[in-house]
Every structure is written in C-alpha cells, then in structure tokens.
C-alpha cells in the first residue's frame, strides 16, 4: 500500500497511463459494426456500402422532383435552403451537405433517423414503394 501511495503522490501521470494500458488490455473495446443499408425506391437501387451516400443520393432524387417546402414538412430541421439553420456541431463536423438542387441536407444524425426519413418520405410524400435489400 505504501508503494501505491508513493506512486500516486510522485508519479501520478505514469500511474494513470499504466492503469489505462492495463485496462485496455484486459477490457478491449469492441468496434461497432457499420450499418450497411441498401434499398430500392423511385425506380433506383441505392446500394453503396456507405449508407450516408445512399441517403444523399436518395435525397438528391427527392429534391429534384418535390419542392423544398413539401420535403421540409417531412424532415423538419434536417433540410434547408441555407446551412446556417443547422447546429454548430453539424457545421463544425461538416455534416451539412449541399444537394444538387441547391438545398442543404443535415447528415449529422443516427442511421435509424435517416432510415425513418426515407420511410416517411416514401410513404407520406411520394407514396411509392420502398424495399430494403
């Protein structure tokens, strides 16, 4: 116990580094698997292994056929004609994507939120079939 007190008093940084390393060896972090979500809608197949790309491509298509006011009724704060309407966190992480239509899409959200947007747009706004592959 005296040795531990000595280390805590005189070498606290080294001791904390040692404890962190030991913890990481004994309790390794498990990597979270990325969600791969392919789907078909509007006669297109969105099959990139990066889901955000599928989401952006889908939203590009939607905003090319529907006006912003209709899309924003479904998506609320996630789409805008000006990126200043998005949060500081979204802007600092460069998650405000400019769509081909000139509108901005906030991709700073969980995958399940994006999936809900896609489902809601297909069901309520476009009234089209959606099929997850």
Tell whether 14 and 45 lie within a shared domain.
no
What is the secondary structure of the chain as a DSSP string? -HHHHHHHHH-HHHHHHHHHHHHHHHSPPPPPPPP---EEETTEEE--SSHHHHHHHHHHHHHHHS-HHHHHHHHGGGEESSGGGS-HHHHHTT-EEEPTTS-EEE--S-HHHHHHHHHHIIIIII---EEE-
Tell whether 52 and 98 lie within a shared domain.
yes
* Interval 53-66: pLDDT, tens: 999 999 999 999 99
Based on the structure, what is the number of domains in the chain?
Answer: 2
Lowest mean pLDDT among 16-25, 66-75, 107-116: 16-25
Tell whether 10 and 55 lie within a shared domain.
no
Task: Determine the structural domain holding residue 102 and report its residue range.
Answer: 39-132
Tell whether 14 and 63 lie within a shared domain.
no
Tell whether 15 and 55 lie within a shared domain.
no
Name the residue with higher pLDDT: 20 or 120: 120
Tell whether 24 and 53 lie within a shared domain.
no
Tell whether 49 and 96 lie within a shared domain.
yes
Tell whether 11 and 71 lie within a shared domain.
no
Tell whether 75 and 114 lie within a shared domain.
yes
């Amino acid at each position: 116990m005296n040795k531990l007190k000595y280390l805590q008093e005189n070498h606290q940084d080294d001791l904390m580094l040692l404890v962190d390393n030991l913890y990481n060896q004994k309790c390794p972090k498990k990597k979270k698997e990325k969600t791969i979500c392919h789907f078909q809608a509007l006669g297109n197949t969105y099959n990139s292994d990066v889901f955000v790309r599928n989401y952006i491509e889908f939203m590009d298509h939607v905003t090319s056929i529907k006006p912003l006011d209709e899309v924003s009724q479904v998506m609320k704060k996630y789409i805008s004609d000006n990126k200043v309407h998005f949060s500081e966190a979204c802007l600092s992480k460069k998650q405000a994507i400019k769509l081909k239509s000139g509108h901005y899409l906030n991709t700073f959200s969980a995958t399940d939120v994006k999936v809900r947007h896609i489902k809601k747009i297909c069901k309520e706004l476009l009234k089209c079939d959606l099929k997850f592959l």
